[in-house]
Structures are given as structure tokens and as C-alpha cells.
């Protein structure tokens, strides 16, 4: 009997070790997901096809939170205990498309996080750089430069790179016939995104210095404005609206 038990224990340990050594380290780009009483942020994650991501989920509530794949997205359910952080890897599929994740409290708030997969930098289309349907946008403090001012209608890919040196930026694509410097603004100097004659089509949010954001969208022909609508607020100083500082440029789709 002791022999048999010893043998069982030894076999189990060997198996555990084999699995432990075999398990691959979770690499990949870290994506922070915050789980709060009101839902999860961000609700949209840009990624390259085939990219390895590592979700770091932080549950700020006092109950459990879950994250799992929706509609066929292959991401096994992860339970994040109250007040804890958990991480899990996700490999973006090789097909371009949107892969939804459900971030939810059992019987409570539910947020759909969309992972937008676009052809990765390793892919032929991206390797070609500034291709036909692509606009490279350089965001800086406080200027927006585009690789082209007009583009044909249809699917347009914006690749926005923040070259800094200091501030975080975003790229807002606005459909408007107004001139870039004539948009109506809020008191803090940012543009009023719900004003008449202005339609926000899409945005690449929160691009940190050195980072790039990528977005493919179908655009109809017309006049557009690209801008950064971030306002820096610091106590004791005037709000600093990036738009008012000059982060805006006209863009035409033919």
C-alpha cells in the first residue's frame, strides 16, 4: 500500500511539473481593462491580426466580475474576484474583423468590449506603408499632419501616431462642411461634438506618446475635419484644449 501511494504521488508530481514547464509564458501587449460599477473600459481595443494580447483586468467593485468571449470569440471565461487584478492572454485571430468580449457582473452590468482586428504590421498591406486606402496621421503637441489631404471614398484606414513630445492625443474624424477653424466650441475650448452641422464619424482614442492607433472605416465622399478633442485640465491653470491649440486639419473624401 505505501508503495502504491508513493507511486501515485510521484506520478502526480511528475505530471504537474510537466504541465508547469510546458505552459508558455504569457507575453504580448498589455491591455488594461477596468471593471467598475458602471461597466468596463475601454469598450474598443485596436489590435493587429494575429497579435498576442494580454488583458489585465482590474475589478474595482465589491463583487465578482467576469470577462469572456462572445459570439464565437475564443476567450475562456475569467473570473476576477472583488478588488483583484487578473490577467489572461488572447491571440487575435488572423481574420480581420470585430471580436466581441463580454465584461459583466453576474446578473448586473454588462459591457461589450470590441476587439477590432486589422491587418497587422507584418501583413503585406501594412508593410507597403502608405497604401492607397491608408492615411498616416502624425499627432504632435499641437499639430496634426496627414500623409494625404484627399482620398477616394470607400474603406479608409487611418494610422495615427503620437510623436509627442508630451501629451496624449486622439484622432476624431468629423464629417462637416464647416471650415476647420469655424467649429462651435464648448466653454473649455473643445469642439461641441453634438453641434449642428457636425457629425462625429469615428475616433481613435487615447494614443499615448510613441503609440499608434489604427482604424478602418467606410467613408462617403464629402468634406471632413480631423482633430484632437482632448482638453487638459489641471487645477490652477486654464483648461488647455488641443483643438484650440491648433490640432485640426481639413480632409476630403472624393
Partner 1 sequence: MLFSLLVTAREGIEIALIVTILLGYLRRIDQKRHFREIWYGVGAAAVLSLAIGIGLELASRELDGRVLEAFEGFTMLFAVAVLTWMLFWMKRHSAGISGELRHQINTALSRGSVVALTLLAFSSVGREGLETVLFLFAGSNSGSSDVMFILGGVAGFALAVAVGVVLYYGSAKLPLRQFFFASAVALMVLAAGMLSNALMELQEAALLSELGPRPWDTESIISATSDLGKFLHTILGYDSAPTLAQITLYWAYLAAVLSVYVAWPSPTPMAAQRQVAATVVVPVAEGE
- Contact residues for partner 1 (CB under 8 A)? 1, 4-5, 8, 12, 15-16, 19-20, 22-23, 26, 63-64, 66, 78-79, 81-82, 84-89, 106-108
> CB-wise, 66 or 193, nearer to partner 1?
66
**Tally of CB atoms within 10 A around 42:** 15
Q: Which residues pair with 232 in a beta bridge?
A: 240
- Residue 56 three-state SS: strand
Contact 81, 59 (CB under 8 A): yes
As measured in angstroms, the least distance from the Cβ of 95 to partner 1 is 22
As measured in angstroms, the least distance from the Cβ of 24 to partner 1 is 8
> CB-wise, 21 or 182, nearer to partner 1?
21
> CB-wise, 82 or 149, nearer to partner 1?
82
Taken as a whole, the chain contains a residue count of: 254
As measured in angstroms, the least distance from the Cβ of 117 to partner 1 is 21
What is the DSSP track for 60-72? Answer: -SSS-EEEEE-TT
> CB-wise, 75 or 243, nearer to partner 1?
75
As measured in angstroms, the least distance from the Cβ of 83 to partner 1 is 9
Q: Nearest CA to 151 among 172, 170, 137?
A: 137
Amino acid at each position: 500500500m505505501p508503495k502504491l501511494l508513493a507511486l501515485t504521488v510521484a506520478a502526480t508530481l511528475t505530471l504537474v511539473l510537466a504541465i508547469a514547464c510546458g505552459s508558455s509564458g504569457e507575453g504580448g501587449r498589455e491591455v488594461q481593462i477596468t471593471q467598475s460599477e458602471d461597466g468596463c473600459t475601454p469598450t474598443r481595443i485596436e489590435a493587429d491580426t494575429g497579435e498576442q494580447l494580454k488583458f489585465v483586468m482590474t475589478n474595482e467593485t465589491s463583487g465578482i466580475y467576469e470577462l469572456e468571449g462572445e459570439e464565437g470569440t475564443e476567450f475562456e471565461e475569467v473570473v476576477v474576484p472583488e478588488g483583484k487584478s487578473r490577467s489572461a492572454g488572447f491571440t487575435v485571430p488572423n481574420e480581420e474583423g470585430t471580436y466581441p468580449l463580454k465584461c459583466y457582473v453576474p446578473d448586473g452590468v454588462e459591457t461589450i468590449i470590441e476587439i477590432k482586428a486589422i491587418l497587422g504590421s507584418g501583413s503585406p498591406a501594412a508593410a507597403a506603408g502608405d497604401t492607397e486606402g491608408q492615411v498616416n496621421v502624425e499627432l504632435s503637441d499641437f499639430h496634426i499632419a496627414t500623409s494625404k489631404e484627399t482620398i477616394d471614398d470607400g474603406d479608409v484606414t487611418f494610422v495615427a501616431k503620437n510623436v509627442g513630445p508630451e501629451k496624449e492625443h486622439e484622432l476624431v474624424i468629423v464629417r462637416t462642411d464647416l471650415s476647420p477653424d469655424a467649429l462651435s466650441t464648448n466653454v473649455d475650448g473643445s469642439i461641441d461634438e453634438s453641434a449642428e452641422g457636425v457629425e462625429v464619424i469615428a475616433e481613435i482614442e487615447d494614443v499615448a506618446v510613441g503609440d499608434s492607433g489604427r482604424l478602418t472605416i467606410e467613408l462617403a465622399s464629402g468634406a471632413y475635419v480631423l482633430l484632437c478633442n482632448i482638453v487638459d485640465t489641471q487645477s490652477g491653470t486654464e483648461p488647455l484644449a488641443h483643438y484650440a491649440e491648433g490640432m485640426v486639419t481639413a480632409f476630403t473624401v472624393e
